[in-house]
Each structure stands twice: as C-alpha cells, then as structure tokens.
Amino acid sequence: MISDQPSKVIRRLIIRMIEVEKRGHIGPAMSLVEILLVLYSSFLRYRIDEPLWLNRDRLILSKGHGCLALYATLAYKGFFPEEELDTFCLPNSRLGGHPEWRKLPGIEASTGALGHGLSIGVGMALAAKIQKKDHRIIVITGDGELNEGSIWEASLAASKHKLSNLTILVDYNKLQSYGETREVLDLEPLVDKFQAFGFEVAEVDGHNLIDLENIFSQLPLSAQKPTAIICHTIKGKGISFAEGKAEWHHKSGLKPDDISALYKCLL
C-alpha cells in the first residue's frame, strides 16, 4: 500500500516547477496526483531503462495542461533526473507547458488541444487487439474536456470494437477553466452517459490511495467492454487556499510570497 507521503513529495515537485517561470496550470495538476501515483506505483507495466519497451502499458494524459503532475511523477519514478524539473518551460527544455511525444521518456502522445487523447487511445487499443498484445491503454481526461464531441465519437468506436484493454479515467474535479462544469455544460448523469455509450463504469474517490489501488486491480471491469472510471477529485488538492477554486486553473506572475505560501501548505 502506498503511503500519503509520496503525494506530498510530488506536489512539492509541482511547485518546484512552477517556481521556475512563476506560472503554470496548478489546479488541474494537483487533482491528478494520487491517480498518477497509484498508476505508476501499482498498476502500469513499464521499464524505466527501456521507455519504448513494446509490451509496456500506455498512459495518455489527454488533459495535457495537467502535465506538471505527470512530469513530477515521471521524475519521482526515475524516468529522468529531478533536476530537469528546474527547466520547466525554459527555452530548449523538454518540459513544455503541454507534453510532447518522444521528447521525454514516458510521454505516449502529444496532447494540448483537448479531446484528442481518447481517439489516440482507441487507435492504440485496437492495434493491440489486432496484434494480440496484452498491454493496456489508460487515457486520463478532464471533466471539462468531455465537452468535446471527439470524446464521444471515440467512445462509440471503443464500444463497437469491445476494447476491454482501454480504460478512460475522468478527473472529475467539477471545475474547468472559467467555471463549474455544471454551469458551463452539465455532464450529469455522467455514469449513465458512459453506460449508454457501452462502457463498464465505476466511481472512486480520486484522492484515496487504497480505493484507487482496489479499482485498478480489478481492470478490466468487463471482458467485452471498455472501462470508464469516474475519479471524484478536488481542483487544487493539497493547497488549502486553491482547493475548489476555478481561478487556480492557471496562474502567472506569481510572486515569491505566493510560492512560499504554496510550499507551506505541504509542510
């Protein structure tokens, strides 16, 4: 079982990156921490010294603006030195504001324009099925990202082809860049929607390490369907003054006192 301490370590690494250029997508990264931690600690098959190993599981961060959490997790797990986090968004850095395929070990797709990751994942899962490979495809989307029609087109294709090797994880923090999801474009009833599109569906507390480990250990939830797991999370999790606040989706021009306040939340 994973302890809570690594979550704090990863959140501090996220702030370490923000400190470089005094900007970044803080809220969307903080809500992802436990999901990524459990995936890379207890579920995904990968080889750090062979990042393109053919039998690895593939993780696509479709909500590419949450890449601070992915970079921090990959560094924490040893895909690249933690010191490289200090180059975030600097000229010639491999760590851009959105992840780029083949620039950094562990990045499976370039994502930034929202709604594309699931389509990429469907292609990967279908290819694996045709080739009779047993690796798994995990796609993490944001809840605001579900406004994109391409998500639902890809979902129909995943169901049609019975892609049980595909799992979509929805980071359901109930907020998007400029407001609450229920006000911008209400997603509810979200479980019913994914079921209607042919998915086996489960819900989980996206910050509870034990619950996440338990649900991931059961994948696939169906031998004949793709899986959707609705991860209930808190935007800005771990930063008391940012939790549940849309204005912390992205911040720029942060001052030293702001950075200090972020660190203090994680003491």
Q: How far apart are CA 122 and CA 137, in angstroms?
A: 8
Using a pLDDT cut of 90, give the percent of the chain over it: 97
Rg (CA), the chain: 17
Tell me the pTM.
0.97
200-225 per-position pLDDT tens digit: 999 999 999 999 999 999 999 999 99
CATH number, domain 5-264: 3.40.50.970
Section 94-112 average pLDDT: 96
Give SS3 for 176: strand
136-192 per-position pLDDT tens digit: 999 999 999 999 999 999 999 999 999 999 999 999 999 998 899 999 999 999 999
* HSE value, Cβ hemisphere, 13 Å, CA-based, for 130: 7
pLDDT of residue 50: 97
Using a pLDDT cut of 70, give the percent of the chain over it: 99
Residue 250 has pLDDT above 80, yes or no: yes
pLDDT of residue 178: 85
Beta-sheet strands, E only, within the chain: 58-61, 137-142, 166-172, 175-176, 179-180, 200-205, 227-232
| Residue boundaries of the structural domains of the chain | 5-264
